[in-house]
Structure 1
Amino acid sequence: MKKLVSRRDTLIGLTAATAATAAGAATPPESAQAFLDRVAWQLLDLQPERATTLGVDEGAHAGLRRRLEDRSPDGVAARRRFLAGALADLAKLPRTGLDASTATSLAVVESAFRTALDGMALPYGVATIGDWRNTPYGVVQNVGAWLDVPQMLDGDQPVRNTADAEAYLARLAAMPAQLDGETMRIRETRALGVVPPSFLLDKTISGMTQTLAEAANGDGPLVGPLARKGKAVPGDWTTRAAAIVQTAIVPALERQLAEIRAQRAVATAAPGLNARPHGEQWYGWGLRAGTTTRRSAADLHAMGRARLADLQAQMDVILRKEGLTQGSVAERLIAYQQRPGIGFPDGDSGRRQIIAYMQGRIDAIRPKLPQAFRRLARGNLEIRRMPLAQEPGAPAAYGGPGTIDGREPGKVWINLGDPSIHNRVTIPDLVYHEGIPGHVWQGEYAQRLPLIRSILAFNAYSEGWALYAEQLADELGMYEGDPAGRLGYLMGLAWRAVRLIVDTGIHAIGWSRDKALAEFIAATGLPRSNAESEVDRYCAWPGQACGYEVGRAEIVAQRTRAQKALGARYDLRDFDQAVVDGGNVPLNVLADNVSRYIGRRPG
């Protein structure tokens, strides 16, 4: 088994190397492991919020807890220089004699850094490093510091002592510069003739206006988390925080809102990149980043059509057994979800019941996980409502792992702005996807790898695994005796198939928003409010929605390959373990990892 290098050992090693260099000693060639550790900390220095999310902003790196990412043009230039330098250094590393895990890590870094650098060469937009929120628009209804900072402060920023409280205030003080950096970039993009669709800007204006109204309140999105977390820490923290918000953050938000309104004045309702300068080029890159393949929009559109037809045939069988024989599959799905006992009450009572039902599904699958994995992760998880200002532009839910040390649990963030989008049909596959054995579960395995592997993620693998996790739940019997849950599972798969259709329809074919909504609702039977949130998300993150089904299909294809190669020696537990132990990877690297798993099975 590969020896794990602790972060303390890494820090000691880097300190010793620095001292030796200062003393004039000859510097030995950098090892692969030293390179991986170095670029991890360099990347976190550029993206300090990630250090907090991972829980590694401590000790010598505690200063990261006080800072925010520079989102100005200068900040983008710094990230571009880092990527170019890291790729040049990577090219010099000897590759002979590397263990499989290290070789995989180098391949992961090369793919993530090259894709991001190519994205940053585009004339506008946000190309992330090891993240999935690539967008041509720097600030919209689901993108920007106005959303990211409050959620990070609420979900990840610790306030355990005086130093933590001061770090929280320092981050508040850094937020105006971050906002102004974004504003500068979106103003430059507007000068290029690129602004978001009008309907996205309307949502952004509404959400940002709400944030401004609540900003300085003691229970608002910026001061509230400090008030809750810092109750036991002596000091007048909330008063100081409110002063920073009122005197510095609010004016910066108002400047950004003014720019958003200027964009709205010239915006059109055209939803796709094909209606914008360099749109075809940008969408090609977005599909590459979102799927880690070079598949064309036409290919992906056809893939979605074929998959959807198969899933609708399966749903038709269940609906007929439930006595629903008239109308389209989508119409019958809608009718089924309106039956007594499927939904939850309106208001806060219903919201509490939704969270309780989600928790019940998580509790029910835990005892079954030894059937699918050789070594279990902890599955440290809590279910939380999204910040209110985020809900109008957010999906139904999303989730991810907590800190590496386990002190902050993983979270499933649930959108409860409109509770009617959640019911006993839609919830089960949602919690398996976002929580266990989906994003939270897989993320904990990734956190056992070198630090850089906890930072870098690939959309097709992340979302493909989460969709495969829904399939595992089915194979573990979680939908037995539950036609509503099984129908929701198939409906969720259809949802991801139609994403291929709608995303490519919007950005490559030239569909209107109404056309995209009609296709989405007709295919899934989801409520219109849910459909609007989904379609608007595809408009904001071109290509991202295509990663789900592409990733799931590749994992299943690799599983079929392993079954054929191993015959009677195949075991689901070994396959699933190989996939999660290999970490978050591009799909071509996933295939390499599965090949190694097949090759090492006892004969």
Structure 2
Amino acid sequence: MDRRQLLTGAGAVLGAAALPLKVGAESASDPATVKALNDLFDGIFNEAVDNSPTLATSLGLDKGDRAALKYKLGDASEAEEVRDVARNDKYIKSLKAIDRSKLSGMDRINYDTVLWSGENQKSGYDKFKFGSWGSGQPYVLSQLTGSYRSVPDFLNNQHTIETKADAEAFLSRMDGFATVIAQETERFKSDVAKGVIPPDFALDRALGQMEAIRAIKGADSSMAKALATKTQSKGIAGDWAGEAAKRVDGAIAKALDAQMAAVKAVRPKAVHDAGVWRLPDGEAYYTFAARAGTTTTLTPDEIHKIGLDMVAELTSEADTRFKALGMTKGTVAERMKALGDDPKYLYDNTDAAKEKLLEDLNVQIRAVEAKLPEWFGTLPKTAVTVRRVPKEIEAGAPGGYYQRPTLDGSRPGAYYINLRDTKEWPKWSLPTLTYHEALPGHHMQISIQMEAQGLPMLRRIGGFSAYSEGWALYTELVAAEMGMYDTDPAGYIGYLQSALFRAIRLVVDTGMHSKRWTREQAIKYFVDTNGDAESAATTEVERYCVWPGQALSYMVGKIKWAELREKSKSHQGAKFDIKAFHDRGLVNGPVPLQVLEQVYRDGGFIA
């Protein structure tokens, strides 16, 4: 998805539809002011959808009056970035013209959330006109950024086909794909002229992925196969695969060749330094990225210290748990590695074994789902499916991630797992990943958010990484409290490894971008501290290099959720209800962490 959806991980949530505010019944806002606020939000939401065809599709809104959007991709030009800046400034000005003092309860929360988002983006827009403007992603092209990797995945997994017109729209978007690649190539060149060049290893990884995609003939491309499968399943006659293949071998190949040539031309200028400190005004950029990622004012030094303290605490607990398993020799990392190398916990690296792994994840989802009513009052209505990360992008993709459903639930939420090497996923590590990505983690939070009829529309589709990733990491703790590891001591080690992994991120992200650690230093810290496979640690570290600040959101967010729960217990005493606590945080939607505290204060959970 492009950033013009106003939904970056950093947390843009500019918009909302005029819907009845059932959530926040404590509100006593001035009705005329509320109407003005919702009218503004409604306009922002509609403008966001109309300017982003991919957003329209992801939400299932590319039909009816918006049917034409299904034939298009977003505009990836620098001129569109400039238009984004103007739109954001317009939204902030309009919002500030509304009298906040006449709002209360959730109306005020909505106002504060939207304003925080707009001003956060503006702070990026005003100072850093490179990469994805207004977000914490400094590079147009890398192993994680660029339409060369996102558009095929989008078309294959989100573009629905029911009719011949839908199939024609798929081909139209393939035509647009070549244009988007060309636009990004021009932006990449523009950024290079500004002194913004990805590290050498990021360019090498990106080139490797581009070359792998380019080497596939059109008839064998994932897009041609996906279009053929979708049309055949609906009985839509025509040589759809052939038409798709022509585009892959024609305009798309030409655009990708030009993009690879641009990257290769820059490669000799790339340096090995991992951190964004080396970019123009790089230290200020990282301060912006850290604030965007955490939605707090914590400094890189403070975050680094928190990380070191948590690493020490979690390492100590893991040591105790290992001793209970009879594993007493070596460092915690060495014992993690030994447990990860134990054949009884490994799947074969074959397609059949990978299918079995996916089946096992579904079993884990059903097991935790049965216990949810004891801990959560509101449950998601939308289903979640488990999918494998597409083979063509798995080399540079994260280990696991979540894709949200459509608003109407016609496409379920999807929990993706990267199966490039099953050795990266010993069986004891998988339950925690499942709880994080599916239930009670991302799928629960995002589905409830999207199903919350009382929330303004763009609050229903917006997000903040610190809120959502913090929630998902917090629910790993909740899963342990639910008893999911009571008969699985090795699985509990997996839970501790996951928490330690996120604490390490605080150290490594700030280490590279603020303290000028090298890539190799960061990888070694991961391996030496958590026992990760070097391939997995390398992928993670290289991710942080091209997406600074985002990795901070997980543990900083978890700390806030856990802190608010303890404050609520202290304030409410015997009246504290864990289901009510969880509902309060979920049904009111994603907010910056400082606003989350106000959500609980307004609800009487904390003083």
TM-score normalized by the length of structure 2: 0.91
Compute the displacement of 1:9 (Å): 8.5
Compute the displacement of 1:100 (Å): 2.8
Compute the displacement of 1:389 (Å): 2.3
* CA deviation profile, 1:22-68 (whole Å, cap 9, x unmatched): xxxxx999621121111011112222212211112221122222221
Aligned partner letter, 1:367: A
> Residues 599, 387 of structure 1: CA spacing in aligned structure 2 closer, same or farther, 3 A cutoff?
closer
Q: Distance in 2 between matches of 1:474 and 1:332?
A: 21
| Bigger mean CA deviation after superposition, 515-524 or 27-36 | 27-36
The question of 1:509 aligning with 2:515 is answered yes
Aligned partner letter, 2:39: A
- Match for residue 264 of structure 1? 267
Q: Distance in 1 between matches of 2:390 and 2:122?
A: 32
The question of 1:497 aligning with 2:485 is answered no
Q: Distance in 2 between matches of 1:221 and 1:177?
A: 19
Match of 1:483 among 476, 489, 493: 489
- Match for residue 225 of structure 1? 226
Paired positions, count: 576
> Residues 104, 166 of structure 1: CA spacing in aligned structure 2 closer, same or farther, 3 A cutoff?
farther
Compute the displacement of 1:110 (Å): 1.3
- Match for residue 166 of structure 1? 168
- Match for residue 317 of structure 2? 314
Compute the displacement of 1:234 (Å): 2.5
Match of 1:70 among 58, 75, 86: 75
Q: Distance in 2 between matches of 1:362 and 1:436?
A: 7
Check whether the contact 2:382–2:405 (CA below 8 A) recurs between aligned residues: no
* CA deviation profile, 1:61-89 (whole Å, cap 9, x unmatched): 22222221211110101111110111111
Q: Distance in 2 between matches of 1:438 and 1:354?
A: 20
Q: Distance in 2 between matches of 1:296 and 1:8?
A: 37
Q: Distance in 2 between matches of 1:553 and 1:544?
A: 15
- Match for residue 156 of structure 1? 158
> Residues 8, 104 of structure 1: CA spacing in aligned structure 2 closer, same or farther, 3 A cutoff?
closer
Check whether the contact 1:463–1:548 (CA below 8 A) recurs between aligned residues: yes
Compute the displacement of 1:340 (Å): 3.3
Q: Distance in 1 between matches of 2:34 and 2:368?
A: 48
Match of 2:419 among 398, 416, 421: 416
> Residues 398, 28 of structure 1: CA spacing in aligned structure 2 closer, same or farther, 3 A cutoff?
closer
SS of residue paired to 1:71: coil
SS of residue paired to 1:230: helix
Compute the displacement of 1:295 (Å): 1.0
Q: Distance in 1 between matches of 2:420 and 2:18?
A: 43
Compute the displacement of 1:228 (Å): 1.6
Compute the displacement of 1:521 (Å): 1.1
Match of 1:554 among 560, 567, 580: 560
The question of 1:452 aligning with 2:458 is answered yes
The question of 1:289 aligning with 2:292 is answered yes
Q: Calculate the aligned-residue CA RMSD, in Å.
A: 2.1
Aligned pairs for 1:77-476 within 5 A: 77-98=82-103, 100-127=105-132, 134-214=136-216, 216-218=218-220, 220-231=221-232, 232=234, 233-447=236-450, 448=452, 449-476=455-482
Q: Distance in 1 between matches of 2:327 and 2:33?
A: 72
The question of 1:566 aligning with 2:572 is answered yes
Compute the displacement of 1:128 (Å): 6.4
Compute the displacement of 1:147 (Å): 1.2
* CA deviation profile, 1:407-459 (whole Å, cap 9, x unmatched): 10100111111121012121111111111111111101111232211332111
* CA deviation profile, 1:549-583 (whole Å, cap 9, x unmatched): 00000011111111111000001000000011111
Q: Distance in 2 between matches of 1:9 and 1:555?
A: 28
Q: Distance in 2 between matches of 1:499 and 1:47?
A: 32
Compute the displacement of 1:126 (Å): 3.3
- Match for residue 583 of structure 1? 589
Q: What 5-or-longer segments of structure 1 have no aligned partner?
A: 1-5, 11-26
> Residues 380, 110 of structure 1: CA spacing in aligned structure 2 closer, same or farther, 3 A cutoff?
same
Q: Distance in 1 between matches of 2:578 and 2:133?
A: 34
Check whether the contact 2:469–2:554 (CA below 8 A) recurs between aligned residues: yes
Check whether the contact 1:315–1:329 (CA below 8 A) recurs between aligned residues: yes
TM-score normalized by the length of structure 1: 0.92
Q: Distance in 2 between matches of 1:458 and 1:58?
A: 28
| Bigger mean CA deviation after superposition, 494-503 or 336-345 | 336-345
* CA deviation profile, 1:265-293 (whole Å, cap 9, x unmatched): 21111111122222111111110110011
Compute the displacement of 1:117 (Å): 2.2
SS of residue paired to 2:196: coil
Check whether the contact 1:50–1:455 (CA below 8 A) recurs between aligned residues: no
Compute the displacement of 1:301 (Å): 0.3
> Residues 107, 500 of structure 1: CA spacing in aligned structure 2 closer, same or farther, 3 A cutoff?
same
State percent identity of aligned pairs.
33
Relative contact order higher in (CA < 8 Å, ≥ 6 apart)? 2
